[in-house]
Structure 1
Amino acid sequence: MTKPVLVSHFSDVLCVWAYVAQIRLDELREQFGEDVVIKHHFIPLFGCTENRIGDGWKDRGGFDGFSDHVLHVCEEFPHVQVNRDVWKNCRPKSSASTHCFIKAVQLLEEEGVVSCKPEQSLNGRTLVEEFVWQVRLAFFRDAQDISNYDVLTTIAKSLGLSLTAINERLKRGEAIAALCRDAELKELYRIEGSPTYYLNEGRQKLYGNVGYRILEANILELMQNETGDLASWC
């Protein structure tokens, strides 16, 4: 039995390109199952939205201009929904607090001490993946401020997560330590943006709006190399 292909996935929860690309991660799980392991890492592209959007888009309409940009992007992807209030009337201050909360959930899943409600469907995703997806939906579809702790706890409770366990990882510094490690890996792997798929110890690094067939081809190549089915021409 060959070992699964590891895909290190880097994203910012407020990144529209990561939002529209979730369907590709879902398809990877559907097609490859346990032959692919997806490890999620988070980078603060929107760590300070006032700087990134308010100042960075000052000459292009600021937050309103960026909102129009996000709406335009989503028009090209009918499988996602976007609220017209996103970045206009709903302006999260930072993705960093959200990422820290997510890392607490991720730590619990890795420790095997969390569970969802029995009737809760995760749509083929891991628990942390479903949590991240619900967070993205809360922002992009429902225009909720996902940098707000209360919004995150509401989502966590809807998935049957233990707020006591999450808060313990936050209070003890474990979640922020895990998030800092993601930042270190971003620098080590030279990750340029969100989303980025990092494979084969960096020999294959796919960034941005990458089509599913490209992801599939890279993974199939790695699987064939692992089994020895792909002859080398050199």
Structure 2
Amino acid sequence: MNKTSSVRIDYFSDVLCIWAYVAQVRLDELRHAFHEQVVVHHRFIPLFGHTGHRIGTGWQDKGGFTGFARHIHKVCSQFPHVEVNEALWCEQPPCSSAPAHQFLKAVQLLERQGEVARECLPHCQDRTRFEETAWQVRLAFFRDNRRVDSRRELLAIAEECELPVAAIEALLDNGQAMAALMRDIERRDEYRIEGSPTYLLNEGRQKLYGNIGYRILEANVREVLERSDSQASWC
């Protein structure tokens, strides 16, 4: 039996999504358990593309931004491995997740072009430099309540991560980062992605959405790895 050598996971998320923030530990564990057998392609979708509409209007009957903040703190009380700032969503909430996504696509493009190292960082849960940057953006928002919809703040994070700021700005200015982000949104529509986070495996045949436990992720990865190239999956 010829086993598959690696599994590709297209991981769709929004950096402002609490469930994606909580789920980072599961991605880290997959990386630790499977190493190069798991290849994660990060894609960003605008679940919080317009927070004034999604939260301000959508949560109007539940207290608006204040009510949503209470909901976030309640969720995080169940997950002690993450930190949430007390002022989150109450004091100067971000207008949109789109600027952070565009920034991260710029970093991702630089990684693909070889201007940012692709190697995993052993002191950062084996994340690549791009993945660590994405995590730092999430931490900046959830833990530190920083304005991750601000280019100035995002470029400050780039400096903190020792990234080439001028090269990032060039990709933001010439439209390449935006084009990459738009392609993620097109893929969301092609695969009918419902929300954040979503794990897409096996060329789109396996889709796992939401607060999925680690053992379910692991089982799906093993199923793809251990199936022969010619054997149809029945599960």
In structure 2, the partner of 1:63 is 65
In structure 2, the partner of 1:146 is 148
Aligned residue runs from structure 1 range 1-234, under 5 A: 2-115=4-117, 121-226=123-228
How has the CA–CA distance of structure 1 residues 169 and 226 changed in structure 2, closer, same or farther, with 3 Å as cutoff? farther
User: Is the contact made by 2:4 and 2:227 (CA closer than 8 Å) also made in structure 1?
Assistant: no
Fraction of identical pairs, as percent: 56
Structure 1 stretch displaced more, 59-68 or 146-155: 146-155
Paired residue total: 231
Distance in 2 between residues matched to 1:64 and 1:103, nearest whole Å: 30
Amino acid at match of 1:16: I
1:128 positional shift? 1.2
* TM-score, normalised by the number of residues in structure 2: 0.93
1:122 positional shift? 3.1
Amino acid at match of 2:93: R
Structure 1 stretch displaced more, 57-66 or 85-94: 85-94
CA RMSD, 1 decimal: 2.0
**Alignment gaps of 5+ in structure 1:** none
Distance in 1 between residues matched to 2:132 and 2:226, nearest whole Å: 30
How has the CA–CA distance of structure 1 residues 233 and 203 changed in structure 2, closer, same or farther, with 3 Å as cutoff? closer
How has the CA–CA distance of structure 1 residues 231 and 10 changed in structure 2, closer, same or farther, with 3 Å as cutoff? closer
1:121 positional shift? 3.7
User: Is the contact made by 1:115 and 1:160 (CA closer than 8 Å) also made in structure 2?
Assistant: no
* 1:89 match: secondary structure: coil
Alpha-carbon deviations, 1:156-213, whole Å to 9, x = none?
A: 1111100111011111111000000000000000000000000112211000000000
Distance in 1 between residues matched to 2:137 and 2:92, nearest whole Å: 14
Distance in 2 between residues matched to 1:72 and 1:185, nearest whole Å: 32
Distance in 1 between residues matched to 2:85 and 2:102, nearest whole Å: 25
User: Is the contact made by 1:101 and 1:170 (CA closer than 8 Å) also made in structure 2?
Assistant: yes
User: Is the contact made by 1:85 and 1:143 (CA closer than 8 Å) also made in structure 2?
Assistant: yes
* 1:65 match: secondary structure: helix
Structure 1 stretch displaced more, 81-90 or 10-19: 81-90
**Alignment gaps of 5+ in structure 2:** none
Where in structure 1 do 4 or more consecutive aligned residues deviate above 4 Å? 230-234
* 2:200 match: secondary structure: strand
Distance in 1 between residues matched to 2:228 and 2:134, nearest whole Å: 31
1:90 positional shift? 3.4
